[in-house]
Chain A
């Protein structure tokens, strides 16, 4: 391996036929059958993103239906049974099937590009994770079509979710699908960690990593530590339901509060798992559109890490009304308000970076500015509900609904849409319409506030969450109608972006490799990137490699990787010094088959335990095929 500085990139180093060979090596097979064999990170990442947005659309439609039912008092539009399925599905799908997967999808797509490598560390595992997620989502929505959807809420509290109070298959489906998401999220998390720590381009030491990569790394570690809690709880619940264990059954000596502890021990980090990558997206966009290094790189990284740590010490603030001892709960008040500090540091670092910069007000930047306005309000209501006495009044009311929509939509979805506009040219090779983007932003921003701001007042006026109707005398009708009108405007705003995206794919202007003038490595690849991402792995000398190259007029690259097999550079964890070469596996159908086998077991167990045994052996068989060693004489 050598470092060279070619005056004209590429051609001095390798010939055209070598480039063709490289393309062939990294090529993903075509055709329908070929589709199931893909393992390249961009294919899988794109699928995660598209699938997650489809779920966003579906769950958003459920949200609109919920709002229509609540638009006035005592409406007969949706009955209680269906409504309860709808709000359960809305929450479950938004949290588990949209928010986490879409963040993972962006991380899977862009982390390898941003750290300058050619694929994820475990491409086949990556594919496996996607199929598990896809099958889980399809089955969950299938259950809604069959009218046997879960209806015990996305939080699924026992004993309401026990066999006695929720007979039927709904909760079984919920519990099983959560297992799918856990598996999928964990696979993505371990891959992202390994990719980030061991496959960065030479020279990209930890303190030169793009902020989005830092955020994805923190998110992945949080997933690794948070998911086991919900794996345990959902497993105990499925055992309670299927084989009559008594983990949560009071009469059998079980403890309903155990579910709440386990669920929120995951559930609170969960919301930060969604927020943290969004914070990375905001930093990324601000750097690009101010065209200068961000202020407080170290502070931003430490804040994200701090948020990751502190988020594990907050879960009891979801349980302030359960009758736990006051003193013990007070610690969680203190921990909850602590989050304000890292969040504040981030916000003021961004303000300092924006101050006096020549900001380009392109669509991504608009969504980020919208984030500021919404997220600050959501953060402040978050501090409010950290107070035990205040929370006893607003817990489980529409005040809470307003609060978490402010932090989740404002804190995660707005940056996410901004990032979608920002990275769209990289993913598709085409530009989106700026005009439509700005329309979309303003509609969504106004619609969002009209929808959710009145809910603060509704909650304080005593309107509980998760109710399918309310009596007229309560006087909640006007504000609910306002919220419903707002939700239609909000949906229109997102709809404009959807149309914009479809139009762009069909008719959009072709994008150059770096349309925004951004400094990070993903913009050094083509738009859309070639199947091998980078024809030559770049060498990094600062945090802003593309700006360096622009000034220097030349760049250093890694040479000596073979063209005839999938090779990537491994580097050391801290300083990213090259330490070796790793050969990555080729496309294969087995991850898909394995995911189908595993799904069969998980879904079948709802109906009969024998499926678990069958699937156990089937999965073992598929894993053998998956890990079948490559013949050594092929890898001379």
Chain B
């Protein structure tokens, strides 16, 4: 259960500022596992320090100005020259001193982050759907060699190019631990590239409001050693396992007869619907319903029976299978490693 590795961060309650030290997490911009996110996090900490300093300075000046007035003896107001100097120092020089270095470092970081990746980098095509992610792995010629959903595997240490598309509304592809977000604009292909430097399971989430279930449109990004990745991709390229038991074969028939195949594809069977996620290797995935619930048999049964309970507004209709049919169907789906 990979979600259990998610570290809970705690914010210190109270009017005092929550300390921004405990920012670890599977979806935290300040817990970088990739060079782009690391650069941005490195920009953030000094920026926060300077911002805190400026805030302190301005509020201290204000407090001094105000508190002097509370003393009984008449405090001396600033004369015109002092006022002018204060205004120029605080209103012009201070913002310039704070913002120019910030803007310049921001430009240079931007150049590094957006530097082009080598042409032979692995290419993954991600298509934003309402409300899930369709993932295609492409070969050198741009042909799709494997299709999955809501779970993207990448080899650690190698740059991966993502072609971001949408055939419906605008979504935004975002894995905070690795890099900032890039929108998926209908009618365009935006490209982003990222490298995972540390193995782990990271969570990505749609960042552009895209309708009813925008909130539960997430995915996992699994960064693993290159050998493990190659083995995984090889597995994804294959067609679905043939049923091994009678129950599984019955389950496959239920799948084909109950209308599931109208939306879902299981390669190697007649099921070739393209409205919902490809289920060829469903059992190998860690989560269901856009990284909303863990992929366990109980959750899977609940999801098939009543998707609207898990994700109200989801495009998947509830099913009216008999308990027996559901059991065999689950048997079959559980076998699709």
Contacts and interface: CB of A to CB of B under 8 A. Distances in A.
B263 interface: no
A474 B27 contact: yes
Contact of A482 (B13, B102, B209): B13
Interface string B76-110: 11101011101101111011101100110011011
Contact of B92 (A79, A323, A344, A377): A344
Contacts of A157: 169-170, 208-209
A163 B26 CA distance: 37
A75 to B, nearest CB: 11
Contacts of A464: 174, 205-207, 214
A5 B312 CA distance: 75
A378 B332 CA distance: 55
Task: Report the interface size class on chain A.
Answer: 35 or more
Contact of A356 (B27, B29, B75, B91): B75
A340 B99 CA distance: 8
Contacts of B64: 355
A351 B213 contact: no
A464 B292 CA distance: 15
A386 B47 CA distance: 12
Q: Is the interface of A mostly helix, strand, loop or mixed?
A: helix
B194 to A, nearest CB: 11
A384 B51 contact: yes
Given A256-B187, A479-B18, A160 B211 contact: yes
Contacts of B98: 340, 383
Contact of B209 (A81, A153, A381): A153
B7 A475 contact: yes
Contacts of B207: 321, 395-397, 464-465
A624 B186 CA distance: 48
Given A256-B187, A461-B28, A345 B212 contact: no
B92 A341 contact: yes
Contacts of B3: 471, 473
Give chain B's interface residue range (CB within 8 Å of chain A): 35 or more
B297 to A, nearest CB: 19
Contacts of A446: 15
Contacts of B90: 344, 347-348, 351
Contacts of A80: 212-213, 215, 312-313
A486 B174 CA distance: 29
Contact of B47 (A341, A384, A392): A384
Contacts of B170: 157, 159-160, 256
Given A390-B47, A397-B207, A479 B169 contact: no
B23 A383 contact: no
Interface stretch (A92-100, A172-180, A261-269, A449-457): A449-457
B59 A356 contact: no
B321 interface: no
A389 B113 contact: yes
Interface string A203-238: 000000000000000000000000000000000000
Contact of A357 (B69, B187, B210, B215): B69
A340 B98 CA distance: 10
A126 B69 CA distance: 43
Contact of A376 (B18, B36, B59, B70): B59
Nearest to B206: A464
Contact of A256 (B23, B186, B205, B211): B186
A417 B193 CA distance: 48
A283 interface: no
B195 to A, nearest CB: 15
B238 interface: no
Contacts of A478: 10-11, 13
A379 to B, nearest CB: 9
Sorted nearest first, the 3 A-B pairs with minimum C-beta distance are: A392-B180, A462-B27, A345-B91
Interface of A: 79-81, 84, 152-153, 157, 159-160, 165, 250, 255-257, 292, 295-296, 299, 321-323, 326, 330, 333-334, 337, 340-341, 343-349, 351-359, 369, 372-373, 376-377, 380-381, 383-384, 386-397, 446, 449-450, 453-454, 456-457, 460-462, 464-471, 473-475, 478-479, 482
25 contacts: A80-B312, A160-B210, A295-B78, A296-B84, A322-B190, A333-B103, A334-B103, A337-B95, A341-B95, A344-B91, A354-B62, A355-B83, A372-B59, A372-B62, A387-B106, A388-B106, A389-B40, A389-B109, A457-B18, A460-B20, A460-B30, A461-B30, A462-B25, A473-B3, A475-B9
